[in-house]
Amino acid sequence: MTAYVPDRVELIPLPDNQVSFQVDGLEATRWHFDPKYPRPFFYPFNGPSGGTLTRMGHPGAQNHDHHRSIWFAHHKVNGLNFWAEGTGTAIRQKYWYRYRDGEKAAVMASVLGWYDAEGKEIMEQDLVAATIPLENGEHLLEIQITMRPAAGREKVVLDQTNFGFLAVRVAKTLSHTFGGGQLTSSEGLVGEEAIFGKPARWMDYSGPVPTGTGPGRGTTTEGITYFDHPENPRYPTAWHVRSDGWMGAAFCLAEAHTITSDTPLTLRYLLHAHGGGYDPDRAASVADDFAQRRGFEIAKSKQPHRQFEVWRLGEKPAAEE
């Protein structure tokens, strides 16, 4: 009898509505979707050394607790504030389509609902998130989101704003203001003042990460590179960035966008947890690979004991044809 060998990359559902994304038994990131939070998020997002490269909340401002590591939000959807807390709006995971482990990647597909203060659904969002291991403990988090009006609604208006959709709050030590980090764009610009509002193919935040324990603990240099995909509308995106430690692809910075049931909006992004400082040649190589990878599709499965499947476009298994 052949011995069972577990997949290298796994998704482990955990209590309290969490899913751990693991590579070789070590956690790369974790998805939190408990309804006690106003919106779901990924935390931690670990670097090659094992420490998290992201943070919950702002290091110096108590009114930024909505900055939960890596999260989805938008300042105004049909005039409703889905960015700040205390507005009554909420984003909830309605159900998951598929958790799929593998040797080269683990893929989670789920559906989220965006709700007003009365609990009425305004917008529906498909989410596909894939963890892809690289060498030397590095990994990628590939994200694809598709937004459409909720059932019974003809359209959704995403108002003009620099807040939304996918935001990243980096660890304190990576930030320029509170740590020893540096913010760099694909165009070679450095720092908030030079980068804010400018288009770029990717954005990088790199800096020191504490290692070890005790009084003699040291640091290593790691970072996050955040990529826009060439197939996204408005590519290359404009960026909302801050020296205090956060970055977001600002899809609606210049103008609003209307989504209808016939014209859903799909956006693809990639986060690279890397060792060492920012390397533009390495970033360009990762960007090229991302550009060549096809997106995901979600469909009903023909396999027994499985309701849905998620594949890359054009890579449907023979059993599902």
**Which H/E stretch holds residue 20?**
strand 18-23
- Asked whether residue 9 carries a pLDDT value surpassing 80, the answer given is yes
At 217 the pLDDT is: 87
The closest alpha carbon to 207, from 279, 282, 278, belongs to: 278
The C-alpha atoms of residue 131 and residue 271 are separated, in whole angstroms, by: 10
Q: How far apart are the first and last CA of the chain?
A: 31
Model confidence band, residue 62 (pLDDT cutoffs 50, 70, 90): confident
H helices of the chain, where? 192-195, 280-292
Q: Give kind and range of the element (H or E) at residue 98.
A: strand 90-100
Angle (CA) 192-193-196 rounded to 5° is 65
Give me the half-sphere count of Cα atoms (radius 13 Å) on the Cβ side of residue 186: 23
At 165, list the tokens: 């959709």
**What local confidence, expressed as pLDDT, does residue 320 receive?**
60
Could you give the CA distance from residue 14 to residue 263 in angstroms, rounded to a whole number? 35
Ramachandran angles phi, psi of 159, nearest 5°: -70, 160
Q: Give the amino acid at 56.
A: M
* pLDDT above 60: residue 318: no
Q: Break the chain into its structural domains and give their ranges.
A: 9-310
Multiple choice CATH, 9-310, 1.20.120, 3.30.160, 3.30.70, 2.70.98: 2.70.98
Confidence tier at 315 by pLDDT (50, 70, 90): confident
Do 188 and 91 form a contact (C-beta atoms < 8 A)? no
Tokens 């005790």: give the residue: 214
Query: What is the number of residues in the chain?
Result: 321
- Integer-rounded Cα Rg, in Å, for the chain is 19
**Spatial separation of the C-alpha atoms in residues 55 and 52, rounded to whole Å:** 8
What distances in angstroms separate CA 22 from CA 29, 36, 48, 197, 263, one per listed residue?
7, 24, 13, 35, 35
Handedness of CA 89, 119, 266, 98 (dihedral sign): positive
Mean pLDDT (whole number) for 73-77: 95
Q: Which of 46-50, 64-68, 250-254, 315-319 has the lowest mean pLDDT?
A: 315-319
**In the chain, pLDDT over 70 holds for what percent of residues?**
98
Q: Which two three-digit tokens encode residue 138? A: 């590095």
What single letter denotes the amino acid at residue 254?
Answer: A
Per the prediction, the chain carries an average pLDDT of 94
Q: Which residues, 6+ apart, have CB-to-CB distance to 150 below 8 Å?
A: 113, 114, 120, 121, 122, 123, 124, 156
**61: Cβ–Cβ under 8 A, 6 or more apart, which residues?**
none
- DSSP, collapsed to helix, strand or coil, labels residue 229 as coil
